[in-house]
């Protein structure tokens, strides 16, 4: 009986739901695919702003005293906005709002998100958050320069740029963002749990969906901590409460606060902030798994272990937050607990790395552009993960904390690595979104420039950290223990950063050109098994599937199944429709 | 194929870079060799994993690159292999973690015989307090902090009277004695870090944090603030000088206790007036300054600033650069004041005088753009005050009312290292760093144009 209902509602598409006008189709759209593209374009646009900001920071560090528009306040403002935009407004929005929106309904085999209207509201609320954030560039005093962690008391006191207005805009924008995320996030979770196609059991879901699903749950649990801390800080600033404000002076003047705890903010921030790392990483883990399997023509190795690793990492990510606070002045005994949990999380993470490489092992590896980026990801993520073991081991963190080692580490692990996956994913799914390939030559150029360029930025940066160069310094001046050569190294890092930045223009040009002129791709150019490639139309139309919803018969990784004619079996192919090898095929097979 | 070769080259390149890099930990100057050992263990374990994983990756790519006549192997799982890898990883992780936790245990357990010193942070300076003979720190409270009592000590607490107060960025410690550093902040978060000692910890307003180490090498090391504390974070530097026990005791004996500082006489204005007669020929009858003699306005500057600068001239901290003949002249003139009291008296007299607006004939018409200058002055205002009134807390003198030619000359001197380079000039290095944020002469003119617009009648911050 349940099955009948399921069929009755979902299988006969009602034409009256399709958008009729340009505005309802492309602007106030409730189609998850259009919303995904809106999210993606907005996120990438704001990400480009953050990229330019990082270039300006690097100019100051590489060539101090050369650029008059970068004074100490501006420098801190660039640092802050670069960090916050990249982490929240680019990575979170693009991975979940962009890819999550596009892929969830298609990969689980449903017509749309379960709450399409809410989904639309989510995007427009996100856009509002972005507008408020961008507006803070133009208010008196400019954006906040409190660092992306926004630590009070300094974030709201004179002496920090933007402590008057910029910080309020930042906090309000974050609060709006979290509202947007919650609307989107509830939708993603509900859709995965409630709207999967018939036969799509949880353990048949592609790892992309697992990654996005668990990351969304993390977001729904973690963002509230940021929301309350943002609201509490707004209260401290505007209403004179003292959540985070002890009795202190501000540039000699006593402030009208007492009894608050700055460390309370840090706990709240990192209770959000550490899961945030995995909110970015888990979707990337999932997507890269699917790219690797597809382009290596091989099932993902150890699928069950991969799923449990995602779940375990997600769970553990809530009990490691204070490893960001080893030298914060919190009770030092916490160090034992958080160092232990942090290093435990390395185990499931390492397993994922092994399994990615074992997926390539005995595969049939096509070095397409998505595959190149996926391999680049394995390299950069391994590097960033291993340096994380150093910082996570509490006592090793003592000399390295607050130095460029930290900057290099987190850029490798949650900057470069997820971006590698994002590019892999864009090159991989672009044919589904547009029906055209991205240009391969430009793609390869983009890959090599980005991969080698970012390594030229971040490998040496670790060594500035070993040396002890502190982060968030506008200039080093004459510091005894820092040799002249460190400045040369900084200059070289800056040159690499500028090159990497410029190369991204090639990518943007490639996207724009390929949307109109790219080579036509057909429905399933990579011969992939997952449902999104099995749609009747490419790009999929509103409602995704024709008259009937797909029915799933197998897991997502039936690549190169022995004795089967093709080297892939889509998830919606019933066992009786699988074409087996004939005698001739088998003969050829044996010969090789 | 290329990607596999590049990965191999990157692995080899990273190893080579690691071994030839001149950028490495500064030589250790404390007891924390065990931290260095833990780092080395971690580096070896992670380094080996990095090499093995990536070489295997490269090998897999080469061995199993696309071949249209071959099929990939179908093997969803291999429980045995996965279990072995999990166990090996767990052992490797434990091998790094366990020694690390032991060292952490040492780090958070202060030896009983450790000496204590308190490090106090504020935007953007350091100061220090020793507990004195009773080895006990007196009570402090934020509400008690004032110009006269910058540490906020409670004078009713008998423990506070013999506390030795160091209002300077320079800390001295004895070699080979364990030191417990208690950390206190007056305003925002800071972080006390000395790279050569390996350890660091945040200063958190509202609570007291701590760390400990034993300095093992005589020398002078830089203290850095490593927690973002506002615009001038990067200028929040200090030094710790590690002396022999005897030298340290000598130094400590020369420092003043809270009781001594409280009892120190204020300057005598009348005495100061008499002493100033000799200075007036250059600086003017009313301390208004005179461009002809390169003499700045002194009237209305705060007493602490004048005292410090006169002492700098006396002990050749300021004015010792050949490019600064006026400074050399002031070194000679300052010798006319024989002791600390006379210095204080002159300073007290001058700070009691009203600031006099510079006469237009003395000033060139302003060449800078005051509107642009206002933006530039934002960063200056944090320390020097929005009205250029100066601020004792930030050790920043009054600027309003000063002659524009003098301000310009000083900014240029800071930029060129003529002023502020001396070891003993406590806050000069900070102004050197800040003056470099004014990139060219035009920006200097602009900011000065704005400062000269500020009201000259602002009361000195004292």
Domain annotation covers residue A22: no
Domain annotation covers residue A103: no
State CA A501 to chain mean position distance.
18
Domain annotation covers residue A480: no
Q: What are phi and psi of A286, to 5 degrees?
A: -65, -50
Domain annotation covers residue A81: no
Cα–Cα distances in Å, from A228 out to A233, A269, A511? 8, 9, 39
Q: DSSP secondary-structure letter at B317?
A: S
The verdict on pTM exceeding 0.80 is yes
Instruction: Report how far residue B348's alpha carbon sits from residue B303's, in angstroms, rounded to the nearest whole number.
Output: 5
String of DSSP letters for B118-146: EEEEETTEEEEEE-TTTT-PPPB-GGG--
> In the listed set A348, A366, A384, which residue is the last one of a domain according to the structure?
A366
- Give the mean model confidence (pLDDT) for residues B420-433: 88
For residue B361, name the pLDDT band (cuts at 50, 70, 90).
low
Instruction: Report how far residue A571's alpha carbon sits from residue A213's, in angstroms, rounded to the nearest whole number.
Output: 19
**Which of A71, A328, A463 shows the shortest C-beta gap to B202?**
A328
- Tokens 């979290």 locate to A178
Q: Running along chain A, 592 residues long, what does each successive block of 10 average in pLDDT?
A: 44 68 84 96 96 95 86 95 97 96 96 95 97 96 95 94 95 98 97 95 97 97 97 96 95 91 97 96 97 96 96 96 96 96 95 96 96 97 95 95 96 96 97 96 97 97 96 90 93 97 96 96 95 93 90 95 93 94 74 55
- Give the mean model confidence (pLDDT) for residues B298-321: 90
User: In chain A, which among 421-480 make CB contacts under 8 A with chain B?
Assistant: 452, 455, 459-460, 463-464, 466-468, 470-480
Q: What are phi and psi of B166, to 5 degrees?
A: -115, 95
For chain A, the 3-state helix, strand and coil shares in percent, each to the nearest 5, are 65, 5, 30
Domain annotation covers residue A573: yes
What is the number of alpha carbons within 13 Å of residue A488 lying toward its C-beta? 6
Instruction: Tokens for A92, please give them.
Output: 């979170």
pLDDT higher than 80, residue B347: yes
C-alpha dihedral (A191, A196, A200, A203), degrees to nearest 10: 20
Crossing angle for the helix pair A369-392 and B2-20, to the nearest 10 degrees: 30
Domain of residue A341: give its range. Answer: 201-245+258-366
What is the number of alpha carbons within 13 Å of residue B87 lying toward its C-beta? 6
Instruction: Tokens for B421, please give them.
Output: 């380079």
**Which of A382, A557, A591 shows the shortest C-beta gap to B53?**
A382
Instruction: Report how far residue A576's alpha carbon sits from residue B281's, in angstroms, rounded to the nearest whole number.
Output: 110
Q: Is the CB of residue A519 less than 8 Å away from at least one CB of chain B?
A: no
Task: Tally helices (H) and strands (E) across chain B.
Answer: 15, 10
Q: Is the CB of residue A214 less than 8 Å away from at least one CB of chain B?
A: no
For chain B, the 3-state helix, strand and coil shares in percent, each to the nearest 5, are 45, 15, 40
Instruction: Report how far residue A428's alpha carbon sits from residue A294's, in angstroms, rounded to the nearest whole number.
Output: 10
Q: What's the CATH code, domain B269-453?
A: 1.10.760.10
**Nearest alpha-carbon partner for B158 in B133, B184, B185:** B133
- Give the mean model confidence (pLDDT) for residues B176-196: 96
Length of chain A equals: 592
Residue B228 to residue A375, Cβ atoms within 8 A: no
* A205-209, A442-446, B129-133, B458-462: least confident range: B458-462
C-alpha dihedral (A430, A432, A436, A442), degrees to nearest 10: 20
Would you say A365 and B66 are in contact if contact means Cβ atoms under 8 Å apart? yes
Domain annotation covers residue A105: no
State yes or no: cis peptide before B86, omega within 30 of 0: no
Dmax (CA) of chain B: 104
Backbone CA torsion sign across A592, B1, B7, B12: positive
Instruction: Report how far residue A476's alpha carbon sits from residue A482's, in angstroms, rounded to the nearest whole number.
Output: 9
**Which of B46, B66, B429 shows the shortest C-beta gap to A364?**
B66
- ∠ Cα B162 B166 B169 (to 5°): 165
- Tokens 């892939």 locate to A568
- ∠ Cα B15 A471 B192 (to 5°): 110
What is the number of alpha carbons within 13 Å of residue A142 lying toward its C-beta? 15
pLDDT higher than 90, residue B370: no
Q: What are phi and psi of A331, to 5 degrees?
A: -50, 120
- Tokens 């505007």 locate to A238
pLDDT at A6: 46
What is the number of alpha carbons within 13 Å of residue B309 lying toward its C-beta? 17
pLDDT at A23: 81
Query: In angstroms, what separates the C-alpha of A482 from chain B's closest C-alpha?
Result: 9
Residue B89 to residue A402, Cβ atoms within 8 A: no
Task: Tally helices (H) and strands (E) across chain A.
Answer: 18, 2
Determine the 3-state secondary structure of A521 from DSSP. coil
**Which of B54, B64, B89 shows the shortest C-beta gap to A363?**
B64
- Chains A, B: CB contacts under 8 A, how many? 363
Domain annotation covers residue A55: no
Residue A383 to residue B50, Cβ atoms within 8 A: yes
Q: Is the CB of residue A29 less than 8 Å away from at least one CB of chain B?
A: no
Residue in chain A closest to B198 (alpha carbons) equals A399
State yes or no: cis peptide before B190, omega within 30 of 0: no
| Strand-pair partners of B184 | B120
Instruction: Report how far residue B435's alpha carbon sits from residue B414's, in angstroms, rounded to the nearest whole number.
Output: 6
- Give the mean model confidence (pLDDT) for residues B31-37: 95
Q: Is the CB of residue A240 less than 8 Å away from at least one CB of chain B?
A: no
User: In chain A, which among 109-168 make CB contacts under 8 A with chain B?
Assistant: 145-147, 151, 153-154, 157-161
Residue B234 to residue A357, Cβ atoms within 8 A: no
Say if strands B190-193 and A253-254 run parallel, antiparallel, or are unpaired. unpaired
**Which of B73, B143, B378 shows the shortest C-beta gap to A247?**
B143
> In the listed set A366, A395, A422, which residue is the last one of a domain according to the structure?
A366
String of DSSP letters for B275-305: HHTTTHHHH-TTS--BGGGTB---TT--HHH
Residue A592 to residue B145, Cβ atoms within 8 A: no
Backbone CA torsion sign across A54, A58, A64, A67: negative
Instruction: Report how far residue B130's alpha carbon sits from residue B53's, in angstroms, rounded to the nearest whole number.
Output: 52
**Which of B123, B204, B225 shows the shortest C-beta gap to A159?**
B123
Helices (H), B133-267: 158-161, 245-253, 258-263
Q: DSSP secondary-structure letter at A577?
A: G
> In the listed set A366, A392, A427, which residue is the last one of a domain according to the structure?
A366
Residue in chain A closest to B375 (alpha carbons) equals A141
C-alpha dihedral (A291, A296, A301, A307), degrees to nearest 10: 10
ipTM: 0.93
| Strand-pair partners of B181 | B117, B211
- ∠ Cα B111 B115 B119 (to 5°): 110
* A440-449, B211-220, B227-236, B291-300: least confident range: B291-300
User: In chain A, which among 403-432 make CB contacts under 8 A with chain B?
Assistant: 403
| Strand-pair partners of B192 | B201, B225
* A171-180, B205-214, B276-285: least confident range: B276-285
String of DSSP letters for A287-307: HHHHHHHHHHTSPPTTHHHHH
pLDDT at A473: 95
User: Best interface-test mutation with A: which of B98, B104, B236 has the largest number of A CBs within 10 A?
Assistant: B104
Would you say B219 and B94 are in contact if contact means Cβ atoms under 8 Å apart? no
**Which of A76, A249, A383 shows the shortest C-beta gap to B187?**
A249
Q: Is the CB of residue A564 less than 8 Å away from at least one CB of chain B?
A: no
Q: What's the CATH code, domain B115-263?
A: 2.60.40.420
Q: Is the CB of residue A483 less than 8 Å away from at least one CB of chain B?
A: yes
- ∠ Cα B225 B228 B233 (to 5°): 60
Would you say B179 and B197 are in contact if contact means Cβ atoms under 8 Å apart? no
Residue in chain A closest to B236 (alpha carbons) equals A473
User: Best interface-test mutation with A: which of B45, B47, B231 has the largest number of A CBs within 10 A?
Assistant: B231
Would you say A371 and A363 are in contact if contact means Cβ atoms under 8 Å apart? no
| In chain B, % of residues over pLDDT 70 | 97
Would you say A145 and B231 are in contact if contact means Cβ atoms under 8 Å apart? yes
Q: DSSP secondary-structure letter at A537?
A: S
Chain A positions touching B107 (Cβ under 8 A) are 332, 395, 398
Residue A560 to residue B71, Cβ atoms within 8 A: yes
Would you say A77 and A165 are in contact if contact means Cβ atoms under 8 Å apart? no
Instruction: Tokens for A68, please give them.
Output: 């008059």
């Amino acid at each position: 009986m349940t099955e009948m209902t399921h069929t009755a509602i979902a299988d006969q598409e009602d034409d009256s739901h399709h958008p009729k006008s340009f505005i309802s189709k492309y602007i106030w759209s409730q189609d998850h695919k259009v919303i995904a593209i809106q999210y993606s374009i907005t996120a990438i646009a704001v990400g480009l702003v953050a990229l330019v900001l990082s270039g300006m920071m690097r100019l100051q560090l590489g060539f101090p005293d050369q650029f008059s528009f970068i004074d100490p306040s501006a420098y801190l403002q660039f640092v802050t906005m670069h960090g916050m935009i990249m982490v929240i407004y680019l990575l979170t929005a693009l991975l979940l709002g962009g890819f999550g929106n596009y892929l969830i309904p298609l990969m689980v085999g449903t017509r749309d998100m379960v709450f399409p209207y809410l989904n639309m509201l989510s995007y427009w609320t996100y856009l509002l958050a972005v507008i408020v954030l961008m507006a803070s560039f133009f208010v008196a005093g400019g954006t906040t320069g409190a660092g992306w962690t926004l630590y009070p008391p300094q974030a709201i006191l004179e002496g920090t740029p933007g402590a008057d207005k910029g910080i309020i805009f930042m906090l309000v924008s974050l609060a709006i963002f979290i509202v947007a995320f919650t609307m989107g996030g509830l939708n993603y979770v509900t859709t995965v749990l409630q709207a999967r196609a018939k036969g799509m059991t949880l353990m048949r879901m592609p790892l992309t969906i697992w990654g996005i699903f668990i990351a969304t749950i993390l977001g729904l649990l973690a963002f509230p901590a940021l929301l309350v801390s943002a609201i509490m800080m707004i209260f401290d600033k505007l209403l004179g409460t003292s959540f985070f404000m002890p009795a202190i002076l501000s540039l000699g003047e006593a402030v009208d606060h007492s009894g608050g705890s700055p460390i309370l903010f840090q706990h709240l921030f990192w209770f959000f902030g550490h899961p945030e790392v995995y909110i970015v990483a888990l979707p990337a883990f999932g997507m890269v798994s699917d790219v690797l399997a597809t382009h290596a023509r091989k099932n993902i190795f150890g699928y069950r272990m991969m799923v449990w690793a995602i779940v375990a990492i997600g769970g553990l990510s809530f009990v490691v937050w204070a490893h960001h606070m080893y030298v914060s002045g919190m009770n030092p005994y916490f160090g034992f607990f958080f160092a232990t949990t942090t290093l435990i999380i390395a185990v499931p993470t390492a397993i994922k790395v092994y399994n990615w490489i074992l997926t390539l092992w005995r595969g049939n590896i096509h070095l397409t552009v998505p595959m190149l980026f996926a391999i680049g990801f394995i390299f950069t993520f391994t590097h960033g993960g291993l340096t994380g073991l150093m910082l996570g081991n509490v006592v090793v963190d003592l000399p390295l904390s607050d130095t460029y080692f930290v900057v290099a580490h987190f850029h490798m692990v949650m900057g470069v690595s997820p971006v590698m996956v994002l590019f892999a994913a864009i090159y991989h799914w672009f044919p589904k979104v547009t029906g055209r390939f991205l240009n391969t030559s430009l793609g390869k150029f983009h890959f090599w420039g980005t991969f080698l360029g970012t390594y030229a930025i971040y490998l040496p940066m670790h060594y500035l950290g070993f040396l002890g160069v502190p982060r968030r310094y506008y200039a080093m001046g004459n510091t005894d223990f820092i040799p002249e050569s460190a400045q040369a190294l900084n200059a070289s890092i800056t040159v690499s950063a500028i090159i990497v930045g410029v190369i991204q223009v090639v990518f943007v040009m490639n996207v724009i050109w390929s949307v109109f002129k790219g080579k036509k791709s057909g429905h399933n150019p990579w011969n992939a098994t997952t449902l999104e490639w099995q749609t009747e139309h490419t790009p999929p139309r509103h409602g995704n599937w024709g008259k009937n919803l797909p029915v799933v018969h197998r897991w997502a990784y039936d690549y190169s199944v022995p004795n089967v004619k093709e080297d892939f079996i889509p998830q919606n192919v019933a066992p009786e429709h699988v074409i087996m090898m004939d005698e001739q095929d088998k003969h050829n097979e044996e010969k090789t | 194929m290329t990607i596999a070769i590049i990965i191999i080259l990157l692995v080899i390149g990273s190893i080579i870079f690691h071994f030839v890099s001149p950028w490495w930990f500064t030589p250790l100057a404390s007891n924390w060799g065990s931290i260095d050992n833990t780092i080395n263990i971690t580096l070896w374990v992670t380094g080996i994993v990095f090499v093995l994983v990536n070489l295997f990756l490269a090998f897999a790519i080469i061995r199993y690159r696309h071949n249209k006549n071959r099929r990939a192997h179908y093997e969803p799982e291999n429980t045995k292999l996965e279990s072995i890898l999990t166990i090996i990883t767990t052992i490797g992780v434990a091998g790094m973690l366990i020694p690390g936790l032991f060292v952490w245990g040492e780090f958070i357990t202060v030896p009983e015989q450790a000496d204590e010193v308190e490090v106090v942070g504020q935007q953007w300076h350091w100061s220090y307090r020793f507990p004195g003979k009773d080895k006990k720190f007196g009570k402090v409270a934020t509400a008690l902090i004032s110009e006269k009592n910058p540490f906020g000590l409670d004078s009713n607490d008998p423990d506070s009277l013999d506390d030795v107060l160091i209002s300077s960025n320079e800390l001295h410690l004895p070699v080979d004695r364990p030191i417990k550093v208690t950390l206190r902040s007056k305003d925002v978060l800071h972080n006390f870090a000395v790279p050569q000692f390996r350890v660091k910890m945040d200063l958190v307003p509202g609570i007291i944090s701590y760390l400990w180490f034993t300095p093992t090498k005589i020398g002078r090391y830089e203290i850095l603030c490593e927690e973002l504390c506002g615009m001038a974070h990067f200028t929040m530097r200090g030094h710790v000088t590690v002396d022999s026990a005897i030298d340290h005791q000598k130094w400590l004996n020369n420092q003043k206790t809270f009781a001594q500082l409280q009892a120190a006489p204020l300057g005598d204005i009348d005495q100061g007036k008499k002493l100033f007669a000799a200075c007036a020929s250059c600086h003017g009858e009313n301390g208004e300054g005179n461009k002809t003699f390169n003499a700045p306005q002194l009237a209305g500057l705060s007493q602490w600033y004048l005292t410090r600068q006169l002492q700098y001239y006396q002990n050749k901290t300021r004015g010792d650069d050949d490019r600064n003949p006026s400074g050399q002249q002031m070194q000679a003139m300052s010798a006319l004041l024989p002791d600390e009291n006379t210095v204080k008296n002159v300073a007290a007299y001058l700070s009691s005088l009203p600031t006099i607006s510079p006469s237009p004939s003395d000033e060139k018409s302003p060449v800078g753009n005051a509107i642009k200058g206002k933006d530039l002055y934002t960063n200056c205002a944090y320390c020097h005050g929005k009205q250029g009134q100066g601020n004792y807390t930030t050790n920043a003198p009054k600027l309003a009312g000063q002659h524009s030619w003098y301000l310009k000359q000083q900014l240029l001197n800071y930029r060129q290292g003529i002023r502020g380079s001396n070891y003993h000039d406590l806050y000069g290095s900070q102004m050197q760093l800040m003056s470099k944020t004014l990139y060219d002469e035009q920006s200097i003119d602009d900011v000065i144009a704005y400062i000269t617009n500020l009201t000259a009648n602002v009361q000195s911050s004292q």
